[in-house]
Amino acid sequence: KNPRHSMAGAFYRSLRADQEVVARAVCALRGREERVASFVAALHGCGGTILPTALGKSAAAAIRLASSLRALGARAHWVHAAEWSHGDLGAVRADDVLVCISNSGRTAELLALAVELRARPRPPTLLAITGDERSPLAQLACAELACPVPSQHEILGLIPAGSAIAQDVLVNAVVAQLAELRRTTAADVMATHPGGAIGEAARRTC
C-alpha cells in the first residue's frame, strides 16, 4: 500500500464530507422560501446596524458576514458574544438587527443576550443561524436558518468542520440574496472595496 495514498486519506474524506454538507444545506432549506425571505427581509429593512455575533469557531462566520455586508454598503459590525454582558448591550438600539450564529443553538451567552433583548419595551430584531431549528436560540429568534450536521462530519467527531461549512454556506446564500435585493452593482462594490484585487476587478467591470 502506497504510504502517500494513506496519508492523504483523511484529506479527501474531509473534502467529500464537506460536499455532503453543502447538499444537506440545500435540502434543509428546500421549500423554506418564506423562512429565507423573512430572514433576508429583516436584514434588508434594517434601519440601524446589523450585528452578527457568535462565540468560538462560529465567530469566523459572524466576522465574515459583517465584512461581506459592509462590502454591500450595509452598516454592520460583528460583536463577540462574551462582550454583550460587559457593556456592549448599551450599543443595541430598537432598529438594529442581531444575527446570532451557533451550531448547537444553545450557546449560553447568546441565550442570555436573546432573553435580555426580548425583555426590552422595544426589542431589536433577533435572527439566528443554527444547526438545530428546535434549539432554544432558534425558538427565541424572529427568523432562523438551520442546517443540521451530524457529528461524523466534524473532525474526530468534535472539532467543528462540517458545521463551519454549513454556516459559511448559509452566510454566502444570505449575502447573495441581499445583494440581489439591494441591486448591488460592481460600482457599488468599488465604492466600498476600492483596494486589492477585488477593487481592481470592480474597476475593470465598471
pLDDT the model gives residue 1: 54
Average pLDDT, the chain: 94
> Per residue in 2-50, pLDDT tens?
555 566 788 999 999 999 999 999 999 999 999 999 999 999 999 999 9
Q: For residue 63, which amino acid is it? A: I
Which CATH fold would you assign to the domain 3-205?
A: Rossmann fold (3.40.50)
The domain segmentation of the chain, as residue ranges, is 3-205
pLDDT the model gives residue 14: 93
Mean pLDDT, range 82-107, rounded to an integer? 98
- Percent of the chain topping pLDDT 70: 97
Looking at the DSSP assignment, which residues form a beta bridge with residue 76?
A: 50
Which residue, among 128, 142, 132, 111, has the nearest Cα to 171 in the 3D structure?
128
- Percent of the chain topping pLDDT 90: 84
Tell me which of 2-11, 130-139, 183-192 is least confident.
2-11
Q: Is 100 helix (H, G, I), strand (E, B) or coil?
A: strand
